[in-house]
Chains A and B, each alone.
Chain A
Amino acid sequence: MELTNREFWTFVHGMVLGSMFLLAFTGGLAGLYSLRPEWLTSEGLRERMTRLRWGISAMAVIAWATVLTGTWIVYPWYRESLAGEESAGCEGLQAPSETCSPRDFLLSNVSGDTESWHTFGMEWKEHVAWIAPMLATAAAFVTVYYGRSLAQSPFLRRLVLWLFAGAFVVAGIAGLFGALITKTAPIT
């Protein structure tokens, strides 16, 4: 059992960083939603804020790490132009190979109608994903800046929740298309 260098980085980008961001969202959402003075003792509020500050800040860092590894490490392997004219290198293949990159494979339609996985799915994913770290950074900064007063201000709490939810939605779109595209045309 072994992973190639490309499989390792694809795993780090999608299964480690991307999944960690999406899974941690529910914890952060629950923490923010229940951050109400009537539900918490002052000791509980202090403990909750420490966890939220670190948790949301870590999520912002993870969001940046996810898009950076995706764009600068994994994406060049996806978009290599290997197949030549009229996708000759992809002829008869059922999956990408050394003569047919994942992008070549999807555009060639040699294994069914796969072109729109690139022209719509990948084209949207590679751009929309970059919105997530900006929104997550804004959510993290507001959380750290206001600290415990988030519990006293429904407006500020809702603001962080909306920023946080926005980051989740765009990361979810990118993650969903990433998983589906990888299933159709894996990077190996």
Chain B
Amino acid sequence: MSMTVQEEIQKPSGPAAAVVLASGIGTFVLGLVTTLNEASSGVNDFLRFTDDVGPLSGKTIIATAAFFVAWAILGYLWRGREVAWRPVLIATVVLLALGFLGTFPTFFEAFAD
């Protein structure tokens, strides 16, 4: 039985808000580990999950894991719940901006060890 438009629009916002905020968290973690990789040789060594890909392997695995784990946790906490969009969107935009900045070479190279 297909769902009507009215039923669809009345769906709780929680699951959708969870994935939106998770995309901000994943992006922020990517920017953060990219900058930390530059700032610390210890972090650089830790992020070398494989020799072929180098520290990019750790950065991308950790950022991707942060995205999916944040999505799973928020999705669980907010399942069936109505969540206010405004704070979620403000947090997401701030996290996206910081994450984007953290991937910009001129920025992260300023922290070079």
Q: Which residues of A contact B (CB under 8 A)?
A: 67, 71-72, 75-76, 79, 119-120, 123-124, 126-128, 130-131, 134-135, 137-138, 141-142, 145-149, 151-153, 155-156, 159, 163, 166, 170
Q: A138 — which chain B residues lie within 8 A by C-beta?
A: 19-20, 22-23
Q: Which of A124, A126, A131, A166 contacts B56 (CB 8 A)?
A: A126
Q: Which of B34, B53, B54 contacts A127 (CB 8 A)?
A: B34
Interface-side segment among B8-16, B39-47, B76-84? B8-16
Q: Which residues of B contact A (CB under 8 A)?
A: 3, 5-6, 8-9, 11, 15-16, 19-20, 22-23, 26-27, 30-31, 34, 52-54, 56-57, 59-60, 63-64, 67, 85, 89, 96, 99-100, 103-106, 109
Q: B99 — which chain A residues lie within 8 A by C-beta?
A: 131
Q: A67 — which chain B residues lie within 8 A by C-beta?
A: 60
Q: Which of A72, A134, A137, A163 contacts B53 (CB 8 A)?
A: A72
Chain A nearest CB from B73 CB (Å) reads: 15
Q: Which residue of B lies closest to A46 (CB)?
A: B2
Q: Which residue of A lies closest to B85 (CB)?
A: A155
Q: Which of B5, B23, B96 contacts A149 (CB 8 A)?
A: B5
- 12 A–B pairs (Cβ distance < 8 Å), ordered by A: A120-B105, A120-B106, A127-B30, A128-B103, A128-B104, A131-B26, A131-B99, A134-B67, A137-B23, A146-B11, A148-B8, A163-B20
Chain A nearest CB from B85 CB (Å) reads: 7
Question: How far is A139 from B53 in the complex, measured between Cα atoms in Å?
Answer: 29
Question: How far is A138 from B74 in the complex, measured between Cα atoms in Å?
Answer: 13
Q: B26 — which chain A residues lie within 8 A by C-beta?
A: 131, 134
Chain A nearest CB from B37 CB (Å) reads: 10
Majority secondary structure of chain B interface residues (helix, strand, loop or mixed):
helix
Task: Tell me whether A134 and B11 are in contact (CB under 8 A).
Answer: no
Q: B63 — which chain A residues lie within 8 A by C-beta?
A: 130
Q: B11 — which chain A residues lie within 8 A by C-beta?
A: 145-146, 149
Question: How far is A131 from B64 in the complex, measured between Cα atoms in Å?
Answer: 9
Task: Tell me whether A146 and B53 are in contact (CB under 8 A).
Answer: no
Task: Tell me whether A152 and B9 are in contact (CB under 8 A).
Answer: yes
Q: B20 — which chain A residues lie within 8 A by C-beta?
A: 138, 142, 159, 163
Q: Which residue of B lies closest to A135 (CB)?
A: B23
Task: Tell me whether A134 and B56 are in contact (CB under 8 A).
Answer: no
Chain A nearest CB from B78 CB (Å) reads: 12
Q: Which of A119, A123, A131, A151 contacts B27 (CB 8 A)?
A: A131
Task: Tell me whether B56 and A71 are in contact (CB under 8 A).
Answer: yes
Tell whether A76 pairs with B100 under 8 Å between CB atoms, given A119-B105, A134-B27, A135-B23: no
